[in-house]
Amino acid sequence: MREWWVQVGLLAVPLLAAYLHIPPPQLSPALHSWKTSGKFFTYKGLRIFYQDSLGVVGSPEIVVLLHGFPTSSYDWYKIWEGLTLRFHRVIALDFLGFGFSDKPRPHQYSIFEQASIVESLLRHLGLQNRRINLLSHDYGDIVAQELLYRYKQNRSGRLTIKSLCLSNGGIFPETHRPLLLQKLLKDGGVLSPILTRLMNFFVFSRGLTPVFGPYTRPSESELWDMWAGIRNNDGNLVIDSLLQYINQRKKFRRRWVGALASVSIPIHFIYGPLDPINPYPEFLELYSTNMIFAYTVTFLSINTSSCWKGRQNDICNRCLVLSRDEAGDARERKVNINSLLALVCQISCLIFKIT
């Protein structure tokens, strides 16, 4: 009996070792094309991947896209061409630890560093003195909030923000409901490195798919593209470190929510109500309560969730702007279609299409 267990153990050890070092999947042709068409710049010795496309001639508008967790700038590829028809420059990057950017470990990943990387990229491109439109999703929303805070401080050398379009993201810690796997990874202590090693495509896809709406689920090939981006440079091994942004968001709530509530630039929010992480109606109620200046909201179909990008159908259910009078009472009015903010909304309605 003892010899039988020894034989099983001797067989299991190399199998487990092989399993934990499975090479990353090959890039799909589309993902490979995205990588080869992009560029890299160096931030403090670390390589950061980005895309930069010239768009419509004669427009002064520049848009910078900030992706979500745990994916990459490739999230935006289906709307890339559409954005180039509206903006003169369309720019996106893979945050440190994501996609094709470097993924150092050990490393103390932070929202502050990611915001500094965005600023550094724009200096690298010679755009530090230009007014920038930001379009963000999920994790990118928090980075955008830090950039807003810096913009509010009016410090020289900081990014000048013209408008901001957010989409489903946990900008309020009190309404954020992280997935079980996210909780285990961010607070797992000594278990976290083991869990990141054990993570595979099956675990990843089963964990991420519920975040999409029931009628906007990604295809298996789309999930494989996401997983390939994560596995690039052993990115699965830094997910627990990246997830510390959830704890940072709680710690710096006053700084980041305060920045969002106090700036007077046009702010737009695209919201999918079936988001299990930022549930409806609690999230929108808190959003309307905290916003002081005029803002707009695109409320998506009731069948859409947090990760609604990339599908092909109608998106907009309604588009409203909520403003407050001196007494603080909220009221609804139609969006001014001539404003830049309405342009961002219109882009969302026409390009971010879902089934």
Q: State how far the Cα of 25 lies from the Cα of 200, in Å rounded to an integer.
A: 11
352: pLDDT strictly greater than 70: no
Tens-digit pLDDT profile for residues 59-82: 889 999 999 999 999 999 999 999
Looking at mean pLDDT, say which of 34-38, 162-166, 263-267, 291-295 comes out highest.
34-38
Say which amino acid occupies 104.
P
CB-count exposure of residue 333 (10 Å: 0-12, 13-18, 19+):
exposed
11: pLDDT strictly greater than 70: no
pLDDT of residue 138: 92
Q: Which residues have CB under 8 Å from 115's CB, separation 6+?
A: 143, 146, 147, 150
Backbone angles phi, psi at 317, to 5 degrees: -95, -45
Range name among 10-19, 107-116, 237-246, 313-322 with the lowest pLDDT average: 313-322
159: pLDDT strictly greater than 90: no
Torsion angle of the four alpha carbons 65, 71, 73, 75, in this order, in degrees rounded to the nearest 10: -80
Q: State how far the Cα of 53 lies from the Cα of 89, in Å rounded to an integer.
A: 6
Q: State how far the Cα of 23 lies from the Cα of 29, in Å rounded to an integer.
A: 18
pLDDT of residue 215: 78
Q: pLDDT band at residue 17, thresholds of 50, 70 and 90?
A: low
Say which amino acid occupies 76.
W
Q: What pTM value is reported for the model?
A: 0.82
Q: What is the DSSP letter of 276?
A: S
pLDDT of residue 2: 55
Q: What percent of the chain has pLDDT over 70?
A: 76
Tens-digit pLDDT profile for residues 97-123: 999 999 999 999 999 999 999 999 999
Say which amino acid occupies 257.
V
Q: State how far the Cα of 200 lies from the Cα of 236, in Å rounded to an integer.
A: 9
> Over 24-76, what HEC string results?
CCCCCHHHHHHHHHCEEEEECCEEEEEEEEECCCCCCCEEEEECCCCCCHHHH
User: 44 - beta bridge partners?
Assistant: none
223: pLDDT strictly greater than 60: yes
pLDDT of residue 332: 33
pLDDT of residue 326: 27
4's enclosing H/E stretch is: helix 2-20
Cα-based angle 167, 250, 92 (whole degrees, multiple of 5): 35
